[in-house]
Amino acid sequence: MNRSRKHLVIGIVAVVLIVFSVWKLERARAGLEISSFDVGTTPVTLYQLPNQTGPVVIVAHGFAGSRQIMQAYSLPLAQAGYRVLAFDFEGHGRNPIPMSGDVTSVDGTTALLVAETRRVIAAARSLPAAAEIAVLGHSMATDIIVRASIAETKAGTPITAVVAISMFSQAVTANEPARLLVISGQWERFLRKAGLYAVHLVDPNAGEGDLAMAGGVTRRAVVAPAVEHVGVLFSPTAVDEARGWLDASFGRDGTGAADHRGWWILALLAGIVMGFYPIVSLLPSRPSAPQISTRWFLVATFVPAVSAPLLIAPFYENFMPVLVADYLVLHLALFGTLQLVILGKSPAMRWNLPLLHVAALAFWGIVVFGLALDRYAASFWPTPERLPIIAALCLGTIPFMIADSYVTGAGRGMLWRRFTARTLLFVSLGIAAMLDPEHLTFVLIVLPVFVLFFLVHGLMGRWIGRQSGAIAAGLGLGLCLAWALGVSFPLFANL
């Protein structure tokens, strides 16, 4: 197959994937009324069928999540006749107010998030005929909704049902919450034990899947097969279990089954990435630069990996309103600068700047990819408060990604080089976390973001690198990485 035919075939496959995936994902919204409003400063989205007056379900996301990532639950519940209120916690998504308080204290950040959740619950009670309320949350939110449910009961306004996905909460007692479903992914071994513990408080002999009942308390722990902490959000089994629990709690007859939303999201994003390949072929091609030697590759990867955490972590002080973003700026900037200095005047170091290639990568990686991600999977468009943070992150991500592009051969380097270079970055961040665990443990949370970035945007960057060289790929990827980090991690203010 010649190159032009190959590009055409890939382009056609990409269009088919995009169109079919969008059609499937939009079907989940068909017939729903979707509106957004604020409860105080908290952004909330209401999903409901027209003229619906059914029970209300409050949906809360986990750490570094948003309303969008919970749509696998919000949309089918709304289609089943529930009115669903999903919201962005402080510091997350489009919420302009940063998280605050002591994250290690129940009376700190947790108390503030519980209060925010209860404000959303109060707004839900103001909806027409909102006599009964349920709450559903994932990960971090499970502790919040459990505590909010207990507080509501004490206030004389009990919550009808609680659905906790990937739950860990020390607030669970033998009596509260009175009606609790715990859903865990099959590969969440620790959280599965936490779910069973909540059930064993009611019936020590109950196993996963069993219904435990005693003294007006009803609980169940179930497992979603073949998924982990994020995959459980898109598991049809988990969605069906949640809806079944709510139907039983409210005396409703549910119909239908959840679709495989996660796979359609992956198909859409894969189609968008594939669609960039034939576009790159239309851009002007530049001669490729020689690869750096193995010796200089090893020096340029190992030295920064060890030096960056040793030079920064002991002196690190928080100066940005995003968890560990300030450290990442310093770490990536030093890491990349050291690599560029080490490589020096290597023949591989060509400093031509093809702006068209940079613009193409940045536009496709931020705007096109971001539009799809923001609508169907995760918040990707920043509030005004995040724009200066993205700009600051560029000071670290751009030199790092330019250096990384040179080190890995601008899309032409061998696989072992790419694997080694990225692994050493992760090792370097791990060293930083060990040197200052009190302040830098959160830096480990960034690792999955980097992995996904290198798999998705890194592939598009390789295509640009082959066409135009390292500088265009590195600059475009640096802009994309700064954006991805800037919109993903929670805002946090030390008050």
Q: What is the pLDDT of residues 269-294, one digit of tens each?
A: 999 999 999 999 999 887 666 778 88
Helices (H), 60-182: 71-79, 111-125, 140-154
- Based on the number of CB atoms within 10 Å of its own CB, is 41 exposed (0-12), middle (13-18) or buried (19 or more)? exposed
Mean pLDDT of the chain: 91
Q: What is the pLDDT of residues 221-230, one digit of tens each?
A: 999 999 999 9
Residue type, 449: V
Question: What is the 8-class DSSP label of residue 491?
Answer: B
pLDDT of residue 1: 58
The confidence band for 176, taking pLDDT boundaries of 50, 70 and 90, is: very high
pLDDT of residue 57: 97
Q: What is the pLDDT of residues 33-65, one digit of tens each?
A: 999 999 999 999 999 999 888 899 999 999 989
Radius of gyration of the chain (CA): 24
257 or 481: which leads in pLDDT: 481
pLDDT of residue 349: 60
pLDDT of residue 345: 67
Domain ranges of the chain: 29-258, 287-488
pLDDT of residue 286: 75
> Is residue 350 predicted with pLDDT exceeding 70?
no
Torsion of CA 438, 441, 443, 449, to 10 degrees: -160
pLDDT of residue 326: 85
How far, in Å, CA of 473 to CA of 289, rounded?
Answer: 13
The confidence band for 448, taking pLDDT boundaries of 50, 70 and 90, is: confident
Q: Are 393 and 453 in contact (CB under 8 A)?
A: no
Q: Of 254-263, 276-285, 328-337, 409-418, which range is least confident?
A: 254-263
33 or 448: which leads in pLDDT: 33
How far, in Å, CA of 286 to CA of 352, rounded?
Answer: 10
Over residues 89-94, mean pLDDT: 94
pLDDT of residue 346: 65
Q: Which CATH superfamily is domain 29-258 in?
A: Alpha/Beta hydrolase fold, catalytic domain (3.40.50.1820)
Cα torsion 383, 384, 386, 390: sign: positive
> Is residue 479 predicted with pLDDT exceeding 70?
yes
> Is residue 495 predicted with pLDDT exceeding 60?
no
Q: What is the pLDDT of residues 298-323, one digit of tens each?
A: 999 999 999 999 999 888 877 777 77
The confidence band for 412, taking pLDDT boundaries of 50, 70 and 90, is: confident
pLDDT of residue 153: 95
Q: Report how far apart, in Å, the C-alpha atoms of 364 and of each of 219, 367, 457 are.
A: 47, 6, 9
CB contact set of 233 (below 8 Å; sequence gap of 6+): 69, 70, 72, 73, 138, 165, 262
pLDDT of residue 410: 83
Regarding pTM above 0.85, the answer is yes
Q: What percent of the chain has pLDDT over 90?
A: 74
Query: Which strands sit side by side in the sheet containing 42-48, from one edge to the other?
Result: 33-39, 42-48, 83-87, 56-60, 133-138, 161-165, 179-185, 217-224, 211-214
> Is residue 347 predicted with pLDDT exceeding 70?
no
> Is residue 362 predicted with pLDDT exceeding 70?
yes
pLDDT of residue 4: 81
> Is residue 137 predicted with pLDDT exceeding 90?
yes
106 or 147: which leads in pLDDT: 147
CB contact set of 284 (below 8 Å; sequence gap of 6+): 354, 356, 467, 468
> Is residue 115 predicted with pLDDT exceeding 90?
yes
Q: How many CA atoms lie within 13 A of 358 on its CB side?
A: 15
Over residues 374-385, mean pLDDT: 92
Q: Are 331 and 432 in contact (CB under 8 A)?
A: yes
> Is residue 82 predicted with pLDDT exceeding 90?
yes
pLDDT of residue 289: 66
Q: What is the pLDDT of residues 5-35, one digit of tens each?
A: 888 999 999 999 999 999 999 999 999 999 9
